[in-house]
Amino acid sequence: DAGITQSPRHKVTETGTPVTLRCHQTENHRYMYWYRQDPGHGLRLIHYSYGVKDTDKGEVSDGYSVSRSKTEDFLLTLESATSSQTSVYFCAISETQILNEKLFFGSGTQLSVL
Amino acid sequence: GEDVEQSLFLSVREGDSSVINCTYTDSSSTYLYWYKQEPGAGLQLLTYIFSNMDMKQDQRLTVLLNKKDKHLSLRIADTQTGDSAIYFCAESIRGNTDKLIFGTGTRLQVFP
């Protein structure tokens, strides 16, 4: 099983503040992803990474940036949080070396922007 | 565009079979997945089927794929209270842009 740790598990912040969410994996998986989950929308891809310093945008990338300086860590940053970014954020990895194949998810971060 | 649709709710009695349905629009899918999400947890990969298969069985789970109708189903035999969760289907698409499209989820409630 892939080991994924997301931190923090819960975060409450104010509009306009920067927020960084961290995803850490214990295996050497190439692909890492950030999704957000909202009622009525299922899961939507924010950004993904295919290697160190290699990232690409997903479906809902506006207002978010990512960084991957080490294989095991993938950071999601909200430069200036807005209330529309209140959501549950999930990090995932592909258990194979193929994009979008057999994703394994972390436990999520509940973010509230007041 | 690509879309994956599921019904919102399903309620079944313990011991009965559950059938969760999913329809998709893109015919260039490679894999189709079923994920389970329990309260407060991430999505857990339950099973998957390659697009050139019609059926896959894995213990209590049976996946049926009808490519002509673009319809995917998940049957859970002998449904237990521990099966209560939200079930997501997802379609992996290969093409000019590779995508993984999730449905909005079906909440399965199992009552005694």
pLDDT value, residue A51: 93
Cis-peptide, bond into residue B112, ω within 30° of zero: no
pLDDT digits (tens, 9 = 90+) for B23-75: 998 778 889 999 999 998 999 999 999 999 999 999 999 999 999 999 999 99
Comparing CB atoms, the residue among B44, B45, B102 nearest residue A43 is B102
Retrieve residue B69's tokens. Answer: 């109708």
- pLDDT for residue A34 is more than 90: yes
- The confidence band for B11, taking pLDDT boundaries of 50, 70 and 90, is very high
**Percent of chain A whose pLDDT exceeds 90:** 85
Rounded to whole angstroms, the Cα distance separating B33 from A24 reads 24
CA-CA distance, B34 to B56, in Å (whole number)? 12
The pLDDT score that the predictor gives to residue B93 is 87
A93 in B contact zone (CB under 8 Å): no
pLDDT score of B1 = 58
Contact B105 A42 (CB under 8 A): yes
Give Cβ neighbours of residue A58 (< 8 Å, ≥ 6 apart). A33, A34, A35, A44, A45, A46, A47, A48
Tell me how far apart the alpha carbons of residues B3 and B102 are, in angstroms, rounded to a whole number: 8
Structure tokens at A23: 């995803």
The whole-angstrom separation of Cα A28 and Cα A43 is 24
pLDDT (0 to 100) of residue B26:
79
Smallest CA–CA separation between A59 and chain B, in Å? 10
Whose tokens are 């997945």? That residue is B33
Of A101 and B82, the one with more pLDDT: B82
Range A76-88 average pLDDT: 97
Report chain B's mean pLDDT, rounded to a whole number.
93
Residue of B nearest to A58 (CA): B99
> What does the alpha-carbon distance between residue B104 and residue B107 come to, in Å, rounded to a whole number?
10
